[in-house]
Amino acid sequence: MATRVKRAFKYRFYPTDAQAAELSRTFGCVRKVYNMALAARTQAWARGERINYSRTSAMLTAWKKTEELEYLNEVSSVPLQQALRHLQAAFTNFFAKQAKYPRFKSRKRSRNSAEYTTSAFRFRDGELTLAKMSEPLNIVWSRHLPERAQPSTVTVSHDSADRWFVSLLCEDPAVGPLPATDAAIGVDVGLDHLLTFSTGEKIVNPRHERRDRARLARAQRALARKARGDGVNRAKARRAVARVHARIADRRRDLLHKITTRLVRENQVVVIEDLTVRNMVKNGALACAISDAAWREFRTMLEYKAQWYGREVIAVDRWFPSSKLCSNCGNLAEAMPLHVRTWTCGGCGVTHDRDVNAANNLLAAGLAVSVCGAGVRPQRRTPSGQSAVKQKPLQREP
């Protein structure tokens, strides 16, 4: 029997004016309830008290009865309750040291979204109708839902580029372990070439941000000329900038999805390097290029897809000298400047492409770790206590 995996299917939709107004009110109420509950929990924590989801739910009931917050009754109660559950999850992650302390939601900077459970929407004959609405949403069904799928939750969002999206969480029986294969591959990341495989194949870095840099600069200059405030013209200019950023992000995400899906389908084991991207972007000369390459997003996609399809992703310690180690004889070169793209081993005389050699070494090290059952090696620290970052063959952006 196929393993049933919960999977989100995201679609764009075009609301009517009435639906847009209703959803905007809902977003505002969700943000208000979240911030009030966060403030109450923070103040209680300062007094030495603990407030959980049940207490905040009771608070919400009391808030609705006040004259000042009576408008909370105008929207569906389900998204408000879901906001309190999300806050509870945020505190759970904080106390487990898996996330930072929850932050207040901003009207301008935070993502506008609302989550509906099964009691607050109706999905029938391919039409989705939310609570407090009389008409179904005009959804562009860009791909099919799983057969006889029934969403368990529906999340509606509105981004800064003025686009509306709906995400349906369904059980997908088509997702499950793929037939086992003996194929394994090592992957080395970079900036000149986005990815280099141990097979010798290289994926050229499309540099999405650089391709739209002139368009983004024009939009940002137009925004800078507008008077600060909540004016209509400034809002239009802000949306123009957001649309350029959305175009860049969408193209980048599309490429990464195609590459990671291919890697997971074709290989049983994928070996990557455990890079600390958060520290690497502190290099001001390379931060833009590293962010545009989206190495962290690539790893995240690879890991959750491998979990879906029964594959294995191994991360080799960043201190492993993959670039300086000869993949043929194991001889370790003393120095390997970043401008050196090919080099000849002094031990066996084999000439290596730097990136392909690194990918081959990562594959060998990852398979050794897999056989030994050691898993991912722990991160090493420098004497100062900071996470060390391995030098990569990066090039300065113009």
Which one from 188, 254, 297, 397 is the annotated catalytic residue?
A: 188
Backbone angles phi, psi at 153, to 5 degrees: -140, 155
Q: Which two tokens stand for residue 170?
A: 């369904």
Say how far apart CA 286 and CA 207 lie, in whole Å: 13
Exactly one of 22, 172, 209, 273 is catalytic; which is it? 273
Residue 22 annotated among the catalytic residues of the structure: no
Choosing from 115, 172, 292, 355, which is the catalytic residue? 355
- How far apart, in whole angstroms, are the C-alpha atoms of residue 114 and residue 23? 8
Quick check: is 355 catalytic? yes
How far apart, in whole angstroms, are the C-alpha atoms of residue 317 and residue 313? 13
Burial of residue 79 (CB within 10 Å: 0-12, 13-18, 19+) is buried
C-beta separation of 137 from 128 below 8 A = yes
Helical ranges in 203-319 per DSSP H: 208-211, 213-225, 232-266, 277-280, 287-293, 295-309
**Is 188 among the catalytic positions?**
yes
For 12, 135, 175, 185, 233, the CA distances from 142, given in Å and listed in that order, are: 8, 20, 19, 32, 33
Please say whether the beta carbons of 389 and 280 come within 8 A. yes
Distance, CA of 25 to CA of 186 (rounded, Å) = 49
- Enzyme catalytic residues: 188, 273, 355
